[in-house]
């Protein structure tokens, strides 16, 4: 296929993709081990989950949100952002509405602790708001609840 045809094909694939929209202020990814889901369920905010499987409809953010994601490190921090998260951020609306990132990870990974959240924040020019390990402690839950409340208080968040 010539390059132009490949580009058209991709555009059509995206246009035909099943989508669901969300205006929630928190969007997260959690793999089948579901540590992150368990953490999110302890928060005071409702949240939307990025699809785990390709058969699920793609999530599109229609309002500003904070992204909460775990890291799954590849070799020396490479390929640390899961394909599902890359696909989600491939949608322009999902990048445009992103305001901050919270990272989940494991400090056993040393310098690569929460590297996916740090990379996304740097690339999208938004802050890393918080990091925590695995399914978080009660203190993490308190900190994130309070932090999100402050972050979304009128005039406190920065972009736009
Ligand atoms: C194969 C594998 C690689 C991982 N790589 C990293 C890493 O590079 N940095 C990090 O902070 N945590 C890493 N973790 C820890 C996960 O981010 C952590 O277990 C997280 O809670 C998983 O969330 P989930 O169960 O919602 O998918 C890794 C975990 C696994 C299983």
Among protein residues, the one with the nearest Cα to ligand 1's atom 7 is 73
Is residue 153 pLDDT above 50, yes or no?
yes
Report yes or no on 42 lying in a domain. Answer: yes
CB atoms within 10 A of CB 107: 11
CA of 86 to the centre of ligand 1 (A): 16
Q: What is the pLDDT of residues 57-83, one digit of tens each?
A: 999 999 999 999 999 986 777 889 999
Q: Are 105 and 113 in contact (CB under 8 A)?
A: yes
Taking the model in full, what pTM does it have? 0.90
Domain count, the chain: 1
Residue 92 sits in a domain of what CATH number?
3.40.50.360
Q: Are 50 and 29 in contact (CB under 8 A)?
A: yes
Mutate-to-test residue for ligand 1 from 39, 105, 130, highest number of ligand atoms within 8 A of CB: 105
Report yes or no on 91 lying in a domain. Answer: yes
Task: Say if ligand 1 is within 6 A of residue 124 CB.
Answer: no
Residue 106, sorted as left (phi over 0), alpha (psi -120 to 50) or beta, turns out to be beta
Task: Say if ligand 1 is within 6 A of residue 143 CB.
Answer: no
Is residue 9 pLDDT above 60, yes or no?
no
Report yes or no on 6 lying in a domain. Answer: no
Q: How far apart are CA 24 and CA 15, in angstroms?
A: 23
Report yes or no on 157 lying in a domain. Answer: no
Beta-ladder partners of 146 = none
DSSP assignments along 2-46, one per residue: -HHHHHHHHHHHHHTS-EEEE--SEEE---TT-HHHHHHHTSSS-
Q: Phi and psi (nearest 5°) for 76?
A: 45, 50
3-class DSSP string for 87-98: HHHCCHHHHHCE
Q: What is the pLDDT of residues 72-113, one digit of tens each?
A: 986 777 889 999 999 999 999 999 999 999 999 999 999 999
The range of the structural domain enclosing residue 122 comes to 17-151
DSSP state of 57: P
The pLDDT value recorded for residue 146 is 98
């Amino acid at each position: 296929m010539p390059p132009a045809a490949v580009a058209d094909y991709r555009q059509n694939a995206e246009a035909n993709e099943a989508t669901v929209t969300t205006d929630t202020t928190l969007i997260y990814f959690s793999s089948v081990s579901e540590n992150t889901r368990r953490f999110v369920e302890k928060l005071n905010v409702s949240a939307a989950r990025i699809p785990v499987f390709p058969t699920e409809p793609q999530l599109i953010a229609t309002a500003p949100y904070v992204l909460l994601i775990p890291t799954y490190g590849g070799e020396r921090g490479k390929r640390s952002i899961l394909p599902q998260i890359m696909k989600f951020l491939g949608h322009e609306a999902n990048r445009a509405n992103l305001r901050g990132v919270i990272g989940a990870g494991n400090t056993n990974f040393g310098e690569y602790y929460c590297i996916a959240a740090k990379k996304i924040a740097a690339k999208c020019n938004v802050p890393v708001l918080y990091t925590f390990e695995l399914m978080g402690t009660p203190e993490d839950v308190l900190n994130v609840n309070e932090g999100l409340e402050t972050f979304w208080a009128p005039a406190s968040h920065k972009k736009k």
